[in-house]
């Protein structure tokens, strides 16, 4: 394993509850691998970080720990001082391979963190710069999110904080405890953090806390409904046509019975139209229709609506037509 075993185990133990469900074991493994890769790329080395180096070709450093000094320098056999401050683990490995190539043919060198200069905080998911961050001094949730560059476009609106119980439960009423995983978990709405001054949800973080946010999935509802617009999907909720129409204000007078669901064709920009009898669903005469992320639900007007409009127009204009005839 090229990443720090200690850090990897800590991150895997503290991953969000949603990633630990049995039905999503494959997804969980993918998330752990992705988080570990992001951590290697994002963590910037600094003074007092301790690195474990492995290289079968360079016996002088193989399976030995080295500490970055206060100047940000790593002092190593044969090659002397290496400026490690600000480098990621991958960048450090490339620099060491370059330097040791003067003494060894094609050396293979891996580096892993065995001790952080400060307590690590894991930032996972749809952040601009996810990874491991050293918590030097007290840090609040909002401060750490700022260090991670904020959220990506399309990120969810709920921030999840997961904390080891050995650090104490998260001090919020909405926090829940998972005794099986020995963690305390809380979900915090992004709006609360953005719109309030010094909100209680802006908690002080503890060592090995995991801050995570999922990518927001959504679909779009338009046409003869109360409110056209985006419908956000919750990770644990199955969205159906009846639910989507309900949260969009329901069907409006003149809406057609048959609703069109435009669904993306895999590996294509084309959408396939699927017709569903929405009124039959609401009457309990048909099964509800499950929707998928990125579906577009279009509610057209019924043919009867246009016919009625035409009749009303004819009736309204008839007196003027007859009056015109009489005046000729």
For the stretch 239-290, pLDDT in tens is 899 999 999 999 988 889 899 999 988 777 889 999 999 999 999 999 999 9
Position 61 scores a pLDDT of 94
**Better-scored residue on pLDDT, 28 or 220:** 220
Position 22 scores a pLDDT of 42
| Of the candidates 224, 220, 219, 221, the residue with the CA atom closest to the CA atom of residue 300 | 224
pLDDT-derived band of residue 17, with 50, 70 and 90 as boundaries? very low
Q: What percentage of the chain carries pLDDT values higher than 90?
A: 45
What average pLDDT does this structure show over 190-199? 81
Residue after which a domain boundary falls, among 73, 89, 115? 115
Same domain? For 250 and 168 the reply is no
**Better-scored residue on pLDDT, 59 or 113:** 59
Same domain? For 249 and 291 the reply is yes
What average pLDDT does this structure show over 222-251? 86
**Better-scored residue on pLDDT, 3 or 286:** 286
Same domain? For 123 and 164 the reply is yes
pLDDT at 4 over 90: no
Position 5 scores a pLDDT of 44
Position 132 scores a pLDDT of 83
Q: Are 64 and 75 in contact (CB under 8 A)?
A: no
Same domain? For 101 and 186 the reply is no
pLDDT at 11 over 80: no
CB atoms within 10 A of CB 121: 23
Structural domain including 9 reads 5-115
Q: Are 262 and 272 in contact (CB under 8 A)?
A: yes
Same domain? For 91 and 129 the reply is no
Q: What is the domain-level CATH number for residue 145? A: 3.10.560.10
Q: What is the domain-level CATH number for residue 25? A: 3.30.1950.10
Query: What is the tally of structural domains in the chain?
Result: 3
Alpha-carbon distances, residue 279 vs 3, 44, 63, 252 (angstroms)? 55, 57, 69, 11
pLDDT at 70 over 60: yes
**Better-scored residue on pLDDT, 33 or 90:** 90
Residue 121 bridge partners (DSSP): 133
List the single range of 1-15, 60-74, 116-130, 133-147 with lowest mean pLDDT: 1-15
Residue whose tokens read 């990120």: 155
Average pLDDT for the chain: 81
Q: Model confidence over 21-60: pLDDT tens digits?
A: 444 445 445 555 555 555 566 678 888 888 999 999 999 9
Same domain? For 201 and 253 the reply is no
What average pLDDT does this structure show over 301-323? 60
Cα separation, 223 vs 229, whole angstroms: 10
Same domain? For 228 and 145 the reply is no
Position 19 scores a pLDDT of 42
> Residue 143: inside a domain, yes or no?
yes
**pTM score, whole prediction:** 0.54
What average pLDDT does this structure show over 184-209? 87
Position 307 scores a pLDDT of 53
> Residue 325: inside a domain, yes or no?
no
């Amino acid at each position: 394993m090229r990443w720090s075993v200690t850090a990897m185990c800590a991150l895997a133990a503290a991953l969000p509850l949603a990633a630990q469900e049995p039905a999503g074991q494959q997804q969980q493994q993918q998330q752990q691998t992705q988080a570990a890769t992001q951590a290697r790329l994002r963590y910037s080395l600094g003074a007092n970080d301790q690195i474990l180096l492995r290289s079968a070709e360079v016996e002088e450093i193989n399976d030995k720990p080295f500490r970055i000094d206060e100047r940000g320098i790593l002092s190593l056999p044969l090659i002397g001082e290496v400026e490690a401050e600000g480098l990621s683990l991958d960048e450090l490995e490339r620099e060491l391979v370059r330097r040791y190539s003067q003494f060894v043919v094609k050396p293979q060198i891996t580096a892993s963190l065995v001790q952080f200069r400060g307590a690590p905080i894991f930032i996972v998911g749809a952040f601009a710069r996810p990874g491991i961050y050293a918590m030097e001094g007290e840090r609040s949730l909002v401060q750490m999110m700022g260090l991670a560059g904020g959220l990506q476009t399309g990120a969810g609106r709920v921030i999840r904080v997961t904390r080891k119980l050995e650090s104490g439960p998260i001090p919020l009423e909405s926090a829940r405890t998972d005794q099986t995983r020995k963690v305390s978990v809380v979900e915090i709405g992004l709006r609360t953090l953005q719109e309030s001054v010094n909100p209680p949800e802006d908690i002080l973080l503890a060592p090995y806390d995991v801050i995570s946010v999922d990518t927001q999935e959504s679909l779009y509802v338009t046409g003869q409904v109360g409110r056209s617009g985006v419908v956000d999907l919750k990770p644990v909720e199955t969205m159906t046509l009846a639910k989507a129409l309900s949260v969009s204000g329901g069907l409006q007078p003149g809406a057609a019975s048959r609703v069109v669901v435009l669904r993306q064709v895999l590996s294509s920009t084309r959408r396939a139209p699927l017709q569903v009898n929405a009124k039959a669903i609401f009457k309990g005469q048909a099964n509800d229709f499950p929707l998928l992320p990125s579906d577009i639900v279009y509610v057209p007007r019924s043919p009867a609506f246009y016919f009625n409009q035409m009749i009303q127009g004819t009736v309204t204009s008839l007196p003027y037509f007859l009056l015109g005839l009489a005046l000729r």
